[in-house]
Structure 1
Amino acid sequence: MEILLWLVPPAVVTLLAMAWVSWLGREGRGEVDRDEAVRRMGTALGKDHPGARYARPVMVRDRSTGIAVRPSSRPSSEPSSERSTTRRAS
């Protein structure tokens, strides 16, 4: 039990911090009347936001083939029939 005595000071500090934060956040501090809040929200919604002008580019997704390694994007210089005969001859 004596080993856990070092936990007492941090627990007291934590409880004091929790009480202080709850006192700061209590209702009624910095409250704006309803008409003023509605006016501010109307002004904010009426602004022209820069992100609304440009559409996000469409992402082109690769077709899933079930293969872990993607095929190369370079076109092959040999036709497929020549490749298969060359492989067999070797």
Structure 2
Amino acid sequence: MEILLWLVPSVVVTAVAMLWVSWVSRDGRGEVDRDVAAQRLGRALAKDLPAGTRRTPPQARDRSTGIAVRPSHGAGPGEGSHGGATRRAS
């Protein structure tokens, strides 16, 4: 238990910091009227975007099925799996 005494200063500092932050950020400081906030938001949304900024929808992702499909190379008529020569494993 004695070995944990080195934690006491950090716990005290943390508790004091939490109390100070809760006191500083309490309600009533810098409160903005709801009507003023709504007007500011309306003005910000009504502004045109700067030149060079585009609104584009996000690109649709190509959904992978997890299966790799290889294209058939040189499989002409009579070759490959559609008839003709039969391939056997050796």
TM-score, scaled to structure 1: 0.68
Mapped partners of 2:58, 2:22: distance in 1: 42
Give the residue type in structure 1 aligned to 2:38. Answer: V
The match for 1:21 is: 21
Unaligned runs of 5+ in 2: none
Fraction of identical pairs, as percent: 54
What aligned pairs does 1:2-81 form with structure 2 within 5 A after superposition?
Answer: 2-48=2-48, 50=53, 53-62=55-64, 64=65, 67=67, 70-72=68-70, 74-79=71-76, 81=78
5+ residue gaps, structure 1, are none
TM-score (norm 2): 0.68
Please state how far the C-alpha of 1:20 moved relative to its aligned partner. Answer: 1.1
Aligned residues: 84
User: Alpha carbons of 1:28 and 1:88: their partners in 2 closer, same or farther (altered >3 Å)?
Assistant: same
SS, match of residue 87 in structure 1: coil
The structure whose residues are more often helix, as a share, is 1
Most deviating of 5-14 and 28-37: 28-37
RMSD, matched Cα: 2.8
